[in-house]
Structure 1
Amino acid sequence: MEDKRLGEKFHKSNEQELRFTQEDRHEVFEQIRKLEKNNNKQKNSLMFSSKKFVPLTVSMLAVCLCLFLFIPLNFSGNVNKELNRSDASGTVVQEDELLTTLITVKAEEEDNRIPFNLLLTYSKNKKMMKVVSIPSETYAPIDNSDGTTMYDKLLFAYAFGSGGAENVRTAVSKLFDLPIDYYAVIDLKTFSTMVDAVNGIDYDLQEDTQVRAITSVGFDFKKGTNRLNGEEVVALMMAATDGRNLNEENLLHLILAVINKTESKMPQTQLKELMSQIETNLPLDQMLENKIDMNSIKSLSLSDGIRDDMKDGKYFIMFEKDYLKSVSEELTTFN
């Protein structure tokens, strides 16, 4: 939609000129980040924020449609991960069975970069889920094929080092010091096809909003109802990840908007066809047949722990180890 294209702030060249090199893109993104930094207060506290539980009762079909936000519960051979803690007497007490899943959006046309990563933990005992979105520019450990570890933006974990979905899972697992049971990597083109198939997603914004895009520099959204294509949905989710333009409430609202539209509009046969294109270790066929009753989802935000930094002329988002440890503890604690 023309009214949502990038405004004069970024439109100093035509569309052909926007397809610049990887180095140029890095420089532009870093300049945008500096502008955002100047317009927002620094967030140096190690205390992270979380929002209210959002009631959600949906079919597994609907959850799969929403960035494949799913947790396998009822198939044979599932992973049961028990957390054990000691009480005051030193006796080990079994506390919970947890499942962890990493949902990744990959932009194949942009050198297999991964602009969006969603880490989920699910308590089988409590039937509750926690969700945290990880900024793509996070300084993260990426495994090389020779067994060594390099540090770069999480954005490159799929393409760099040893590469692939397993490499992304390993990078996020090391970052949070948290085992990850399952992964699902969906290509941006596939997700866009899904959104296009239901004629876009309608989403209300409280004010005019400018966000970074993936295959172009950025998008301008007007206050009020916007009809979003697939990349625009992901772009807004990315903006909600670091809390600078939007917050984690927007992330949950976007998820619900996708669920509401796709559940009523997309045939299951079409869904299965699209899901066959996902790189995953999840048993998708069995999951499509199940229903899941999720009483609540709790969204966690990393925005309070963000520290902006430059290394070798490149912009990174940094987190203190103690802060990430506290996030991991929150992700795996269900009261």
Structure 2
Amino acid sequence: MDNKFNKQNSSFLDDDDLTFTKEDRTETFKKIQENNNKKQNNTFFLIGKRYVAPILGTVMVLILAVGLLLPNLYSGSEISQDNPDKQQASQQEGISFSALLLGEESYDINNRSTINILLTYNSGDNSMKLVPIPRDTLVKIFNSDGEGIREDKLTHASALNSTPEPVVTTVSNLFDISIDYYSVIPEEDIYTELGISKDEARDNRYTINEIGDFIKERLSFSQIKKLLEESDTNIPSDMLNQMKNNNSESIQVIDMEKGVTETINGIYYWKVNQNLLEKTSTTLKQHLNGE
């Protein structure tokens, strides 16, 4: 009987130990939830601690970069907006070019040009060099396709071509120098600036071939600029404006009259001295390069 009682009592105790009331379940779930929240908070804290330093470092670098760049950007904008003349002047520094001045003879039905002047200009010191080429100079004449067609007087180059470009090529080949532009000027205008009458220029070969002397004595820098501005030219307007607005003026006329006369098949030609030709070519190239 004691054994039976003890067995029943033990069974009762076991059932009592395993009893799980509603309050117990609620309390247990509450503790589990609290533990889960603690784990999540710890995870977020660890992640934030791991990445917050690099992120803050990157943000600081960006702030410093913007702070350094903004003054420069603003300064550049201020120059371009408040001082456009200064910016334009800076862009135009060091301009140099070469051009061939072609006289257009209105009374010659054969379209022969008696005036051919090679010009170089350098804006560094606002200087100009002029090379009047005698009209009877023996040259290799080129056509519009860039082909040499025959040797003849320079004055015939314009008669054999309807546009200025082949004449430019002819003179470029003679001096072994690149010529950038041309300027077609009525010869009457040039003679007027030189104080020479049209009849004198037409009837006196000496006057035409020795025109370099007249240019040295009577043609100024400003007069040349005026002739260029009023001519039929492909020189860009900004270059002409810079020449016009520059105050200092220097002009040099290079004499190409040293040479010999030669008669071929009964026709008179002028042959330029080869050493003088090479020296003049070097001088013009150096002038264009600012030397």
TM, length-normalised to structure 1: 0.49
Aligned to 1:87: none
Looking at structure 1, the residues matched to 240 and 257 of structure 2 have their Cα atoms a distance apart, in angstroms, of 33
Aligned to 2:119: 120
Aligned to 2:283: 330
Asked if 1:252 is matched to 2:216, the reply is: yes
Asked if 1:281 is matched to 2:226, the reply is: no
Aligned to 1:170: 169
CA displacement 1:116-162 (0-9 Å, x = unmatched): 111111223343221111000001111135634211100011111x4
Aligned to 2:180: 181
5 Å-filtered alignment, 1:50-69, equals none
Contact 1:202–1:257 at 8 Å: present in 2 too? Answer: no
Asked if 1:310 is matched to 2:274, the reply is: no
CA displacement 1:223-262 (0-9 Å, x = unmatched): xxxxxxxxxxxx8564233xxxxx3xx32222139839x9
Q: Provide closer, same or farther for how the CA distance between residues 258 and 236 of structure 1 changes in structure 2, counting only shifts above 3 A.
A: farther
Aligned residue type for 2:220: L
Contact 2:115–2:187 at 8 Å: present in 1 too? Answer: no
Asked if 1:296 is matched to 2:250, the reply is: yes
**Alignment counterpart, residue 218 of structure 1, candidates 174, 181, 204:** 204
Contact 2:144–2:166 at 8 Å: present in 1 too? Answer: no
Contact 1:157–1:164 at 8 Å: present in 2 too? Answer: no
**Alignment counterpart, residue 240 of structure 1, candidates 207, 211, 230:** 211
Offset, 1:291: 0.9
Offset, 1:212: 5.8
How large is the Cα RMSD of the aligned pairs?
Answer: 3.9
Contact 1:102–1:118 at 8 Å: present in 2 too? Answer: yes
The structure that is strand-richer by fraction is 1
Offset, 1:331: 2.0
Offset, 1:99: 1.3
Aligned residue type for 2:247: D
TM, length-normalised to structure 2: 0.55
Structure number with the bigger relative contact order (C-alpha 8 A, sep ≥ 6) is 1
Aligned residue type for 2:271: M
Q: Provide closer, same or farther for how the CA distance between residues 141 and 148 of structure 1 changes in structure 2, counting only shifts above 3 A.
A: closer
Aligned to 1:157: 157
Rg: which structure is higher? 2
Provide the identity percentage: 26
The structure that is helix-richer by fraction is 2
Contact 1:201–1:258 at 8 Å: present in 2 too? Answer: no
